[in-house]
Chains A and B, each alone.
Chain A
Amino acid sequence: DGGITQSPKYLFRKEGQNVTLSCEQNLNHDAMYWYRQDPGQGLRLIYYSQIVNDFQKGDIAEGYSVSREKKESFPLTVTSAQKNPTAFYLCASSRGLAGGVADTQYFGPGTRLTVL
């Protein structure tokens, strides 16, 4: 999982501003994912992409947007419509589906977003 990077590590944003979190991987993985983690809670899926130029909503997509223009990159934008954006955001990648079977996901180091 050293091949997945996220930047920045810490991010502060004023209420009402959009902000974009970066996620890059050099593992040649087809699939990429974004999760949100709140204190003492599990990982909740925001968006995922199995292939370039295609992505699907996860369980908590409202107030977020993504793009997948390149295989290596899957940026997440937290919009002003997201009512409680302060959280730890984790990006992951995997080889994707092979014969209908999911593969191991490897995580980046995360970005901690705080809304002031």
Chain B
Amino acid sequence: GENVEQHPSTLSVQEGDSAVIKCTYSDSASNYFPWYKQELGKRPQLIIDIRSNVGEKKDQRIAVTLNKTAKHFSLHITETQPEDSAVYFCAASYPGGKLIFGQGTELSVKP
């Protein structure tokens, strides 16, 4: 079925450390993989995305890697800061243009 698994569900790091969140998807036809950040009570905001013709993409402290063979992709945040604390969601595209979202990872960055 259409499914995206996301791990871990919670992640606590010290300020300055790196954080990694992993997702797997089920459909080899998926070709678009966005990551969203959601602060409490707010709307999800896109932070980075990757398409299936690319293996890695970076934007300052944030990077995403994609392994199409294994059907998994990961978010890497380096030099974490307290303002990085939020819930992060991965998603994968499925036929018809829809996105299926993972369950979310609550990241806590301790000063």
Contact = CB atoms under 8 A, between A and B. Distances in A.
Interface of A: 1, 31, 33, 35, 40-45, 48, 50, 56, 58-59, 90, 94, 96-97, 100-110
Contact of A1 (B31, B45, B98): B45
Contacts of B6: 42
Contacts of A33: 98-99
Given A101-B51, A105-B34, A43 B44 contact: yes
Contacts, number: 64
A96 B98 contact: no
A104 B46 contact: yes
B103 A41 contact: yes
A108 B44 CA distance: 9
A1 B97 contact: no
Nearest to A45: B98
Contact of A110 (B43, B46, B102): B43
Which interface residue of A1, A43, A44, A97 has the most chain B CB atoms within 10 A?
Answer: A43
Given A1-B43, A107-B44, A109-B43, A102 B97 contact: yes
Contacts of B98: 33, 45, 48, 58, 102
B93 A106 contact: no
B97 A94 contact: yes
A50 B93 CA distance: 14
A105 B43 contact: no
A89 B100 CA distance: 16
Contact of A41 (B2, B43, B104): B104
